[in-house]
Amino acid sequence: MTIAQFVEDLQGQRAFRKGLRVKGIKGALGIFEMTWDANGRATFEYGESTLPGETHVIWRRVGTHEIFDKP
């Protein structure tokens, strides 16, 4: 469900819905975090598009709050 919402928001080219809590990580330029559950966390960055018109997301880490030790 969370990934489906994330993709839907990317494809709609609108701001991410509040429930995904997507924001930039302080001190890590170009890296973003997403929090979707009591302890569901992910970090990602945008990469060069591999398909014209498509946003390319590089998932860096997915797991619990501990992933923020090294985003």
The answer, yes or no, to whether residue 71 has pLDDT greater than 80, is: no
Q: What is the pLDDT of residue 47?
A: 95
pTM (two decimals):
0.82
Q: Determine contact, residues 55/10, Cβ cutoff 8 Å.
A: yes
Give the pLDDT confidence score for residue 14 in this predicted structure.
74
43: confidence class by pLDDT, cuts 50, 70, 90:
very high
Helical residues (DSSP H) of 1-71, grouped into ranges: 2-11
Which element (helix H / strand E) includes 43?
A: strand 41-47
User: For domain 2-69, is the CATH number 3.30.70?
Assistant: no
Distance set, CA 27 to CA 4, 30, 57 (Å): 28, 9, 20
| Backbone torsions φ then ψ of 5, nearest 5 degrees | -65, -40
Domain range list for the chain? 2-69
